[in-house]
Amino acid sequence: MPTLSERLQQLKCDRNVLQKDIATSVNLSLRAYQRYEYGERQPTADVLIALADYFDVSLDYLVGRSDDPTRH
């Protein structure tokens, strides 16, 4: 089962976006986003929702609970 950090890395690469662009889009500092992507910190629920919205995936997919990225 993929972890949040693995999903973030995968989604970033799949969509060919930069960390700084993701961070800016969800109102985070670059370092804060990097800590989530590197698995050093866990985001709050609000940040998880913002990231799921940014990548247009379900929360379950983002955190590795599902392999279906479809939002329900």
Q: pTM of the predicted model, to two decimals?
A: 0.93
Q: How far is CA 52 from the centre of its chain?
A: 6
Residue numbers of the domain that contains 38: 4-62
Q: Per-residue b/e over 14-32, b at no fewer than 16 CB within 10 Å?
A: eeeeebeebbeebebeeee
Q: Note the pLDDT of residue 1.
A: 79
* Residue 26, domain member (yes or no): yes
| CATH classification at residue 15 | 1.10.260.40
Domain count, the chain: 1
Measured between alpha carbons, how far is 11 from 63 in angstroms, rounded to an integer?
12
Residue 54's CB is within 10 A of a number of other CB atoms, namely: 16
| pLDDT mean by block of 10 residues, the chain; 72 residues | 93 97 97 97 97 96 92 72
Q: Note the pLDDT of residue 38.
A: 96
Q: Note the pLDDT of residue 28.
A: 97
